[in-house]
Structure formats: structure tokens, C-alpha cells
Amino acid sequence: MTRLPALCAAALALSIAAAPAARAADKITFGLDWVAEPEYGGYYEALATGIYKKYGLDVTIVSGGPEVNTAELLIGGRLTFDITSNAFLALNFAQENIPFEVVAAGFQKDPDALIAHPGTGDTSFAALKGKPIAVSADTRASWWNYLKAKYGYNDSQLRSYGFSLTPFFTNPQDIQEAYVTDEPYLVKQQTGHYPIVLMLSDSGFDGYASLIATSDRLVQTNPALVQRFIEASAEGWYQFLYGNPEPAFAAILKANPDMTPGLMQYGYAQLKARGIVDSGDTKTLGIYAMTNARWAGFFKQMAATGMYPANMDYQSAYTLQFVDHGRPK
């Protein structure tokens, strides 16, 4: 190998010494509202393929579950961002003047649903009026109120829900809440047929779901960090949905060994077929799109049920600062 002349070598050594050290990646702790599943595929894709790293982010994904309150972890400063399950929680923060806000809407359509047995006549939301329905405590305080207002349901119909399909398998009249990406597949595996699936968004319910939230303080003091996280996550979603999802699948299986390949593929197919992540406004504004008009419509829809005062400052629940910029280049 030819040696550099002494002066050139010395100059090179000085320039290297003077060069600034590579900037350390910003650490982010991101809390999910449930265990690792395809519903979080874009985040695992961004993590597994180095997209977050490309954006200068060192992201740790923290799984949730029925015993994990990510809102409390976020408020307590143990998470940088979290998945806020639905728009109700965002409005609740605003109503209680809690200084956290939504910065992106992961799901354009809420995947919450009610499932019922075929052959019972339970083929529409209207048909379920007066029938026993098992839902969680969170649902009782959120979209159950919408169903009461729209379809005349009443609280005497309520039955406890233990996050289990056992009652559904043992009672041919059972009706319970579900996620369109999960329980229908599990029912098919057990019974040989799919249940009746009544997806909440098909009833006219217009709330966003799987929202990303963070503190007002972070939005004000480091908006560039928030923007990078949203852009990197959006790129992960595009790659997961329309590229190769296998890196995310592998990462999800590692984080949640109870996930099966069949359930993974079913959930993935439902996300795409139903336009849960990418539909409507996202086609022009990009994944994570939100609009003032849709937030206003949802707030009015829920205020009409008595859940919120009509004069509440619902706009403090969210910001459009980091979304609606189109698809990442």
C-alpha cells in the first residue's frame, strides 16, 4: 500500500481529531396498550429494520396488557410516548386538564367490535338491543355510551368481560366485545366457523384509535424529536403494509411467544383489507392523518350522549403539528 506523505498524514490525523463525535441516538421508551401483535406491526418493522436508527432514535418498545396502565406510566414520566387506545382517553385527558396530547392517529378505523354466534339473528347492532352483552370496564366508560345513545341499549344488558373466549365457546347465545384482528380467527379455530362480527366503525362511530400520545412539555421543548418519531414510525407502517412484513413478524413473535403464525397472518390481512391503518384521509395526507373536522365530529357525537360538556375545549386533546404531511419520502 502506498504511504501518505508525512504532511498529508498529519493533516488527516488533525482533521479526524477535530471532527465532532457522532451524535448519540435519542432514547425513546414507547408503551403499547396491549401485548405484541400485528396491530403494532409498523413499530416493530421500524425497530427490526433499522428505520428508527436511521432517524437517530434508540427506541425501546414496552408491551402492555390487562394489568398495565400505560397512561399512568406516561404521566409518571416512565414512557416518552404511548399508544392511547381510543379518542375517548384523549378527550378524558383534556377534560381533566392533564398535560398530555395526541400527536398522531395510528388507526383511522376503530377495530373494536361485538361478536355473536351465527344463526341467532344477531346480525346487526340494532338486533342486539336488550340482549346480554359482555364488555370490559373501559368499554362501559367509552363506546358503550355511544351504543346506548344510538341503538337504545341500556346498562341492564351489561355482563362482565374477562378477556376470555371461554364464555363464547360454552354459551351459544353469548355476545361479547372483540377486536376484528384477533377473536374471529380464534373462534374459527375452535368452532370451525367465523362468528358474526359487528365492527364499531361500521355503525357510524367515527373515533380514531391506537393514537400516539406524549406530554405537552415534550411537544413544546423538543418538537423535532416528536416529528422524527412520527415520521420513522410512519415509514415503518408503509414498509410493513406494502413491503416485507417478515422482520416485524419475527420481532413480534420474539416479544410475544404466544402469538401464532396463523393469527399473525390473519391480523395482518384484516389491517389491510379493512383499511384500519391506511384509508380515507391517509391516502392524501399520509399514515397517521388527523383533521380538525373529524375531531369536531367525534366530539359532538360523544357530547350528544352526555359524556362531555358541549363547551369543553376538546381541541386541547390533540395537535396536528406532526401529521398530514403526506407519505414519507
Give the angle 273-302-152 at the CA atoms, nearest 5°.
Answer: 85
Read off the pLDDT band of 139 (50, 70, 90).
very high
Distance between CA atoms of 146 and 210, rounded to whole angstroms? 18
- pLDDT for res 9: 39
* pLDDT tier for residue 7 given thresholds of 50, 70 and 90: very low
As annotated, the residues of the chain forming the CATH 3.40.190.120 domain(s) are 112-203
More confident residue, 5 or 225: 225
Report the chain's C-alpha Rg in angstroms.
23
The yes/no answer on whether domain 112-203 falls in CATH 3.30.70.890 is: no
The whole-number pLDDT of residue 22 equals 54
State the average pLDDT for the chain. 92
pLDDT at 10: 41
Is pLDDT at 16 greater than 80 in this prediction? no
What's the CATH code, domain 26-109+207-317? Answer: 3.40.190.10
DSSP state of 189: H
pLDDT band at 274 (very low <50, low <70, confident <90, very high): very high
DSSP 182: T
pLDDT at 78: 95
Where in the sequence of the chain do the CATH 3.40.190.10 domains occur?
A: 26-109+207-317
